[in-house]
Homo-oligomer: A and B are copies of this chain.
Amino acid sequence: MNHTSTTTNGFAEQKDLHFGLEPASMKLRHVVESQQFTLPLLMDLFTRSRGMERIVARGGSLDHQNRILATLFYAPSTRTRFSFEAAMYKLGGRVLSTEQARAFSSEVEGERVEDTIRIIGGFSDVIVIRHHEEDGAQRAAAVSPVPIINAGDGCGGQHPTQALLDLYTIYRMRPLDGLSVAFIGELDKGRTVRSLAYLLGKFERIRIFFVSPPELQIKPDILEYLDRRNVQYELESDLNKVVGEVDVVYQTRIHPDRGADLPVRQKYAINSSILQRMKPDAMILHPLPRTVELDKTVDSDPRALYFRQATNGLYVRMALLTMLLESQ
């Protein structure tokens, strides 16, 4: 664990302070963006997540029986919401739930998320928010009397727990140092790719291939960050060239309205021919939901881990909840 090199990264350090992170005690107040997670904090989280696997296998705990989680989803996402709520249940807690908070807030002109958070924070112990604006979670954290977890904000925003469960899924299979990863699909707007690339930059001897149509390639800010961290990377437009070389194939969806018609989207799809070129011990990840870019026939391949990602999300979110509830 490389404590010093992480905190000498100016950007990360600034963020840590902003969200009340004190590296010495590793106390976590809010989870707003993946930049908050230092290497020691990641290792603490993953160790806890392993423990959560054992707790779930035993049927869950009742340790947080009196604590209340509120999910405040301004944009609906049944799976992400259920994952957080199930995590709270497995810890013994209770859940206040919204499926579509935006319908409610639209009834009032000028309604501000800050007031809502201050009120709901008055009768809950932790709030999971998915907001339609990019700074929604950060604005919530700035005023909240209880911990905030960002469950996705805006289109180009953050979704830090997705990146954490992605990384945990890889970590459960092999050491993270020395990993080679191909990110495939619509990379410029892909918040899961951006966040995971950020986290990978904290490890040693990482190699990344960004594979996409040139007009949808990863943005320079991530590449500059990887340069600072001495991470090797390549930009590539041909999936076939790199798929045999990597340990992780991280597939994402290309939205049809991004100017990519079906033949383009199929050119970047994972199918049986791509499977044959992959390493025998590679991993296929996808944040889901999927469309044409990930064929159903892949599901039965032992390298397909995308449904295991969902279960790992339960463990990682349980671990995060315990860290936040205990730091209160």
Contact = CB atoms under 8 A, between A and B. Distances in A.
Interface of A: 59-60, 62, 65-66, 68, 70, 72, 76-79, 82-83, 85-87, 89-90, 94, 96-101, 103-105, 107-112, 115-116, 118-120, 122-124, 256, 288-292, 307, 310-311, 314
Given A86-B123, A123-B86, A256 B292 contact: no
A34 B82 CA distance: 29
Contacts of A68: 86, 89
B99 A98 contact: yes
B66 A120 contact: no
A123 B83 contact: yes
Given A89-B94, A99-B99, A288-B115, A122 B78 contact: no
Give the oligomeric copy count.
3
A288 B89 CA distance: 31
A122 B311 contact: yes
Given A78-B72, A310-B122, A289 B86 contact: no
A164 to B, nearest CB: 16
B86 A96 contact: yes
Contacts of A89: 68, 94, 96
Contact of A120 (B79, B120, B292): B79
Given A86-B96, A99-B103, A109-B256, 10 more contacts: A66-B90, A68-B89, A76-B103, A79-B119, A82-B123, A83-B123, A86-B123, A90-B123, A111-B289, A119-B310
A114 to B, nearest CB: 8
Contact of A70 (B82, B94, B124): B82
A78 B98 contact: yes
Contacts of A65: 62
A71 B110 CA distance: 26
Contact of A78 (B90, B116, B289): B116
* A-B residue pairs, 4 tightest by C-beta: A86-B123, A59-B66, A122-B311, A76-B104
A82 B96 contact: yes
Contacts of A83: 123
B104 A103 contact: no
